[in-house]
């Protein structure tokens, strides 16, 4: 099995020591297993079987160029959520026809670019956007390929910050209005309506919302076709969750079977946009302990050189990522609140971690940080973005050098 091995100690990533890597490149440092990323892409692709389908990796999970190139060479298409992600995809060699372009607020310039290069589908979010795409395409004398993003009104069971399919959410066209919007799009001279799209949330860990979304969308697509609207695909978005605590998560085979069973009666190509499931477990964040101090109640603060600016998920969603020690320490197990260096009380990495007390200079590894880790890193407190290393074939190479303060100031005067 490719990826990280945590026991027995020492921790390794495909035969490479993250501790040695950190010694060479410094911390905070993201480390990824190329083999595991490719294995997971292939596992999902294989789980979808012989049914016509395409996996569009969701760049928002991690769009570091080296990772996008890796997935592109493995055969993946992409889901881009901004002009920036479209540009990264193209730099990585992704054919424009392999891009679906999603996004709740696409600018005129982003739409122009998408129409111009001829992306596989622009997932239109509203009747207004359908109209704007049609005008751009008509002015250029082309037909833009669009899908309509539908909000099916399905509340998924996940963190409230990452569910998107309920009536109160800003995403897509409410399903009640979507038939009219799709029929309108299908009749426009500048548009080819090629699909329907839905994404009801991320980190989904039960089949219920997945199954309801898939069958609702399949039925919707069939009704459209019965009304004489030709379609090519049904895009069911991303969302397949991973296990952050080691307990069993939704199995990829079951997820894939549920999607295929729902869509198969339509005969339409199935598109999926997974992000987290592909890269999440394949990446980790390595950080150095910079301070250790006792609290009044017997607990300790363990302060790292990485915090919410490197990994925002614990601060933003209360996410709990497992921690591994890269240095052996004996001694009694104590309770540690592992925190970052930022001037914010929410700047935590993991509260209440039981472990032998680390020493300043020790290394800790934060697991399952490959998705929405480096992609959500920021320069808050003028912190430079961390370096990123890709382990491949028993060796490692830097796919992103550590940012410098000079890089930050280059944009300012």
- CA angle (31, 35, 53) in 5-degree steps: 115
Any contact of residue 388 with ligand LLP (CB under 6 A)?
no
Q: Nearest approach, Cβ of 278 to ligand LLP (angstroms)?
A: 8
Any contact of residue 79 with ligand LLP (CB under 6 A)?
yes
Binding to ligand LLP in span 285-344, by CB under 6 A? 313, 317
CA distances from 177 to 127, 168, 183 (A): 9, 15, 11
Any contact of residue 102 with ligand LLP (CB under 6 A)?
yes
Choice from 40, 106, 145, 199 touching ligand LLP (CB under 6 A): 199
**CA 305 to CA 291: how far, in whole Å?**
9
Q: Nearest approach, Cβ of 320 to ligand LLP (angstroms)?
A: 12
Active-site residue, selected from the candidate residues 13, 116, 336, 343 = 343
Q: Nearest approach, Cβ of 108 to ligand LLP (angstroms)?
A: 21
Task: Give the DSSP per-residue string, 75-127.
Answer: T-EEEE-SHHHHHHHHHTT--GGGEEE--TT--HHHHHHHHHHT-SEEEE-SH
Show the site string, 218-237: x = touches ligand LLP by CB under 6 A, - = not: -------------------x
Identify which range of 30-38, 89-97, 268-276, 361-369 contacts ligand LLP by CB under 6 A: 268-276
Q: Which residues pair with 354 in a beta bridge?
A: 335
Q: Which residues contact 99 (CB under 8 A, 6 or more apart)?
A: 56, 77, 78, 79, 80, 86, 89, 119, 120
Nearer to ligand LLP, 3 or 237 (CB): 237
Identify which range of 66-74, 263-271, 273-281, 332-340 contacts ligand LLP by CB under 6 A: 273-281
**CA 46 to CA 54: how far, in whole Å?**
11
What's the burial of 397, exposed, middle or buried (CB within 10 Å: 0-12/13-18/19+)? exposed
**CA 410 to CA 402: how far, in whole Å?**
15
Choice from 83, 190, 275, 307 touching ligand LLP (CB under 6 A): 275
Q: Is 336 helix (H, G, I), strand (E, B) or coil?
A: strand
What's the burial of 382, exposed, middle or buried (CB within 10 Å: 0-12/13-18/19+)? exposed
Nearer to ligand LLP, 40 or 325 (CB): 40
Q: Which residues contact 408 (CB under 8 A, 6 or more apart)?
A: 379, 382, 384
Any contact of residue 104 with ligand LLP (CB under 6 A)?
no
Any contact of residue 372 with ligand LLP (CB under 6 A)?
yes
Task: Tell whether omega for the bond before 28 is within 30 degrees of 0, i.e. cis.
Answer: yes
**CA 95 to CA 79: how far, in whole Å?**
12
Q: Nearest approach, Cβ of 10 to ligand LLP (angstroms)?
A: 28
Nearer to ligand LLP, 310 or 362 (CB): 310
Any contact of residue 255 with ligand LLP (CB under 6 A)?
no
Q: Nearest approach, Cβ of 280 to ligand LLP (angstroms)?
A: 8
Any contact of residue 239 with ligand LLP (CB under 6 A)?
yes
Annotated catalytic residue 343? yes
Binding to ligand LLP in span 163-192, by CB under 6 A? none
**What is the number of alpha carbons within 13 Å of residue 392 lying toward its C-beta?**
11
- CA angle (125, 134, 186) in 5-degree steps: 75
Query: From its phi and psi, is residue 237 left (phi > 0), alpha (psi between -120 and 50) or beta?
Result: left
Binding to ligand LLP in span 40-69, by CB under 6 A? 58, 60-61
The number of residues that bind ligand LLP (CB under 6 A) is 22
Any contact of residue 83 with ligand LLP (CB under 6 A)?
no
Choice from 64, 76, 203, 213 touching ligand LLP (CB under 6 A): 203
- Please identify every residue annotated as catalytic: 343
- In the complex, the residues that contact ligand LLP under the rule CB under 6 A are 58, 60-61, 79, 102, 162, 199, 202-203, 237-240, 273-277, 313, 317, 371-372
């Amino acid at each position: 099995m490719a990826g990280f091995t945590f026991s027995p100690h020492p921790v390794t990533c495909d035969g490479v020591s993250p501790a040695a890597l950190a010694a060479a490149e410094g911390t905070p440092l993201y480390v990824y297993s190329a083999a595991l990323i490719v294995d997971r892409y292939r596992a999902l692709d294989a789980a979808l079987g012989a049914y016509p389908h395409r996996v569009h990796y969701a760049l928002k999970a991690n769009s570091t160029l080296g990772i996008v190139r890796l997935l592109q060479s493995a055969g993946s298409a992409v889901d881009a959520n901004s002009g920036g992600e479209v540009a990264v995809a193209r730099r990585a060699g992704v054919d424009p026809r392999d891009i679906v372009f999603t996004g709740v607020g696409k600018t005129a310039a982003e739409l122009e670019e998408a129409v111009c290069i001829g992306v596989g589908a622009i997932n239109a979010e509203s009747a207004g956007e359908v109209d704007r795409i049609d005008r751009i395409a008509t002015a250029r004398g082309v037909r833009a390929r669009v899908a309509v993003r539908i909000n099916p009104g399905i509340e998924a069971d996940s963190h409230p910050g990452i569910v998107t399919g309920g009536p109160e959410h800003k995403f897509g066209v409410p399903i009640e209005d979507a038939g009219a919007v799709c029929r309108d799009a299908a009749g426009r001279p500048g548009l080819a309506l090629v699909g329907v799209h839905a994404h009801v949330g991320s980190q989904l860990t039960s089949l219920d919302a997945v199954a309801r979304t898939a069958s609702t969308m399949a039925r919707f697509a069939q009704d459209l076709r019965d009304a004489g609207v030709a379609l090519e695909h049904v895009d069911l978005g991303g969302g397949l969750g991973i296990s952050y605590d080691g307990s069993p998560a939704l199995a990829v085979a079951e997820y894939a079977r549920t999607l295929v069973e729902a869509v198969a009666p339509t005969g339409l190509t199935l598109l999926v946009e997974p992000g987290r499931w592909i890269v999440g477990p394949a990446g980790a964040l390595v950080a150095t302990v910079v301070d250790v101090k006792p609290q009044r109640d017997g607990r300790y603060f363990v302060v790292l050189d990485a915090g919410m600016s490197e990994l925002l998920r614990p601060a933003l969603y209360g996410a709990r990522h497992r921690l591994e020690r890269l240095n052996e320490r004996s001694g009694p197990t104590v309770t540690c609140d592992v925190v970052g260096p930022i001037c914010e009380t929410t700047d935590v990495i993991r509260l209440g971690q039981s472990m032998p007390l680390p020493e300043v200079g020790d290394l800790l590894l934060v697991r399952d940080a490959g998705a929405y880790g480096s992609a959500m890193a920021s320069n808050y407190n003028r912190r430079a973005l961390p370096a990123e290393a890709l382990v491949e074939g028993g060796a490692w190479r830097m796919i992103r050098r550590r940012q410098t303060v000079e890089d930050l100031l280059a944009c300012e005067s």
